[in-house]
């Protein structure tokens, strides 16, 4: 067996401008790597041609930060799933994201794999991505401006980053996702994520669902809901008919039945020999949707109880 060089140079830049300048120097022949849990496998298995260089962004100070800013939480693209799952800020104010990062791979994968890599890989079932879509996060993209050396930053809605299975709108030979930002849960809001997975064998999820819910001030109706299901189509799927079936309706079982029917109608779940039959997966759309919406409602109500004025 001949051994093949999969990359010729490995760079460890310590700033975003340095990473982008390195990419520019290789003019499309170098690629960003973070945890490497997707990319190195793809290179080794010949799914991607060898590259001239890998530009590793895991040592850039601040790129793995998780912090609060006025009105939003910012999660660095190089934050690992372990770090996100353990973050009190994310667990409290973006709960579904902590839950989804907590089920990715095993501990070894979670310790190195990053949320930026999860999104840039652009799979419709990527767990961290499914929650970011339900949270309607935005991604910050950095690229070099025409005048050499100047870095341009742009915030884009996360849903605009996906073109198809494994096809990102971000070009990791020239661009970098630097961070995600999301609105933290406020009073009367909660979120949850749930997934069904084969217990062994190929690491392919059968289905994952994330939901964020905002209740009316009295806690009795859905004021706002956003739902993401994956895989249920070529990109992480926003279940907008199911959302519409809940928004403005009483938070009770009749509304949930209507939302489940809508989600089962709109989700494009196919039979896959690696996942499960379409019939089973459609059934699971209902099971998981009910589970995550109920969990999100319970969390949202807990806040309302805590915030309610105490009786004299
Ligand atoms: C055993 C195993 C189990 C797994 N289980 C799961 C699972 O349960 N759920 C799940 O969702 N995934 C799973 N994965 C897939 C993978 O671990 C995740 O998608 C992970 O988040 C990828 O992150 P990474 O940092 O390792 O990405 P890398 O492999 O470093 O990069 C992936 C892609 O993104 C690009 N990229 C990386 N960072 C950036 C950036 N900041 N800006 C622009 N482009 C970038 C790279 O060029 C590459 O194309 C598993 C993988 C393995 C090997």
pLDDT tens string 19-63: 999 999 999 999 999 999 999 999 999 999 999 999 999 999 999
Q: Which atom of ligand 1 is nearest to the CA of 125?
A: 11
Q: State whether 261 and 165 are in the same domain.
A: no
Ligand 1 pocket: which of 31, 32, 38 to mutate (most atoms within 8 A of CB):
38
Rounded to an integer, what distance in angstroms lies between the CA atom of residue 80 and that of residue 54? Answer: 19
- Residue 273 clears pLDDT 70, i.e. is over it: yes
Name the domain count of the chain. Answer: 3
- Residue 307 clears pLDDT 90, i.e. is over it: no
Q: How much distance in Å is there from the Cα of 148 to the middle of ligand 1? A: 30
State the residue range of the domain holding 294: 189-306
Q: State whether 288 and 235 are in the same domain.
A: yes
The secondary structure of 2-36 as a DSSP string is: ----SEEEEE--SSHHHHHHHHHHHTTSEEEESS-
Q: If we measure between CA atoms, which residue out of 284, 302, 306, 303 comes closest to residue 229?
A: 284
Q: How much distance in Å is there from the Cα of 216 to the middle of ligand 1? A: 37
pLDDT of residue 1: 45
Q: How confident is the model at residue 146 (pLDDT cuts 50, 70, 90)?
A: confident
- Residue 296 clears pLDDT 60, i.e. is over it: yes
- Taking residue 31's Cβ as centre, other Cβ atoms within 10 Å add up to 20
Which among 163, 182, 201 is the end of a domain?
182
- Residue 229 clears pLDDT 80, i.e. is over it: yes
- Do residues 177 and 116 lie in contact, with contact meaning Cβ atoms separated by under 8 Å? yes
Residue 30 sits at φ, ψ, to 5 deg, of -120, 155
Query: Does 61 map to a domain?
Result: no
Query: Does 312 map to a domain?
Result: no
Q: How much distance in Å is there from the Cα of 286 to the middle of ligand 1? A: 28
Q: What is the pTM of this model?
A: 0.96
Ligand 1 pocket: which of 117, 143, 151, 180 to mutate (most atoms within 8 A of CB):
117
Q: State whether 171 and 193 are in the same domain.
A: no
Ligand 1 pocket check for 101: Cβ under 6 Å? no
Query: Does 311 map to a domain?
Result: no
Task: Quick: pLDDT tens for 120-135.
Answer: 999 999 999 999 999 9
- Residue 4 clears pLDDT 80, i.e. is over it: no
Average pLDDT score over residue span 250-276? 92
Q: How much distance in Å is there from the Cα of 100 to the middle of ligand 1? A: 14
Strand order in the sheet with 72-76: 66-69, 72-76, 176-182, 138-144, 151-157
Q: How confident is the model at residue 263 (pLDDT cuts 50, 70, 90)?
A: very high
Q: How many secondary structure helices (H) and strands (E) does the chain include?
A: 11, 14
Query: Whats the size of the chain, residue-wise?
Result: 312
């Amino acid at each position: 067996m001949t051994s093949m060089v999969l990359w010729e140079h490995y760079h460890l830049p310590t700033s975003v401008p340095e990473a982008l300048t390195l990419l520019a120097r290789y003019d499309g022949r170098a690629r960003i790597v973070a945890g490497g849990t997707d990319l190195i496998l793809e290179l080794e298995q010949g799914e991607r041609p060898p590259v001239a260089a890998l530009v590793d962004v895991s040592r850039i100070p601040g790129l793995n930060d998780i912090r609060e800013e006025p009105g939003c939480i910012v999660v660095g693209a190089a934050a690992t799933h372990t770090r996100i799952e353990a973050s009190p800020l994310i667990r409290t104010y973006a709960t579904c994201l902590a839950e989804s990062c907590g089920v990715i791979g095993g501990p070894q994968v979670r310790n190195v794999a990053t949320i930026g890599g999860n999104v840039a890989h652009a799979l419709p079932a990527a767990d961290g991505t499914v929650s970011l879509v339900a949270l309607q996060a935005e991604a910050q993209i950095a690229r070099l401006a025409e005048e050499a050396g100047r870095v341009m930053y742009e915030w884009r809605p996360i849903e605009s980053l996906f073109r198809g299975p494994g096809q990102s709108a971000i070009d990791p030979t020239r661009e970098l996702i630097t961070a995600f930002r999301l609105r933290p849960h406020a009073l009367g809001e909660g979120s949850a994520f749930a997934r069904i997975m084969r217990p062994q064998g190929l690491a392919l999820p059968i289905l994952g669902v994330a939901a964020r819910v905002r209740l009316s001030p009295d806690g009795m109706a859905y004021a706002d809901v956003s739902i993401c299901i994956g895989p249920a189509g070529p990109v992480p799927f926003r279940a907008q008919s199911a959302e519409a079936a809940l928004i403005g309706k009483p938070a009770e079982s009749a509304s949930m039945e209507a939302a489940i029917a809508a989600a089962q109608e709109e989700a494009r779940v196919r039979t896959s020999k690696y996942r499960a039959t379409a019939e089973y997966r459609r059934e699971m759309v209902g099971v998981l949707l009910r589970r995550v919406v109920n969990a999100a409602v319970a969390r949202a109500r807990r806040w309302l109880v805590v915030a309610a004025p105490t009786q004299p």
